[in-house]
Amino acid sequence: MKFAIAVFSPAHAPSSRRALRFAEAVLASGHDIARLFFYQDGVHSASANIVAPQDELDVAAQWRTFITEHSLDAVVCIAAALRRGVLDDTEANRYQRPAVNLPAPWELSGLGQLHEAAQLADRLVCFGGD
């Protein structure tokens, strides 16, 4: 079965870690992930500038590793990301901002990608909250 997973919370929220553990279990159970979509405060889960305290899990880094290892389609909502200062190279240049914090494997795109993922997948599962 194909899953679309949407994450609405930043890397320091329990629900971002929960989404990651769910996504790992999806693949471990032999299912596929059609797309991961990071929306609203979930765009912070994609930021490369996060420095996790030494005694805490670095969930943003774990997302990056997971996505890279499994070559997953990981889309960050562009409107949500811009307003929160999560920028890739193109957007940092376009708006003349001093820093880039969204390198590969993440991709900035529109909300239509979430809609498409929901159509492509057998299940859409959203994660937010505490």
Partner 1 sequence: MTTLHVIAHSPFGDQRLASCLRLLGADDGLLLCGDATYALKAGSEPLQMLQAANLGPRLFALAEDLQARALDGTQVIAVDYPAFVELSLHYDKVNSWL
Judged by the rule CB under 8 A, the positions of this chain that interact with partner 1 are: 1, 3, 8, 14-15, 18, 21-22, 24-26, 28-29, 31, 122-130
> In this complex, which beta carbon is closest to partner 1, that of residue 21 or of residue 83?
21
Q: Least Å distance between CB 37 and partner 1?
A: 13
Q: How far is the CB of 129 from partner 1 (least distance, A)?
A: 3
Q: Of all helices (H) and strands (E), which one includes residue 36?
A: strand 32-38
Rounded Cα gap, residues 129 and 9, in angstroms: 7
Minimum CB distance to partner 1 smaller for 87 or for 124: 124
Using DSSP, state whether 58 is helix, strand or coil.
Answer: coil
Query: Has 77 been annotated as catalytic?
Result: yes
Nearer residue to partner 1 within complex by CB, 85 or 128? 128
**Catalytic pick from 77, 86, 114, 117?**
77
Closest approach, Cβ 120 to partner 1, in A, equals 15
- Burial environment of residue 82 by CB neighbours within 10 A (0 to 12, 13 to 18, 19 or more): middle
In 3D space, the residue among 42, 117, 49, 125 whose CA is nearest the CA of residue 76 turns out to be 42
CB 108, CB 95: distance < 8 Å: no
Please give the positions annotated as active site. 77
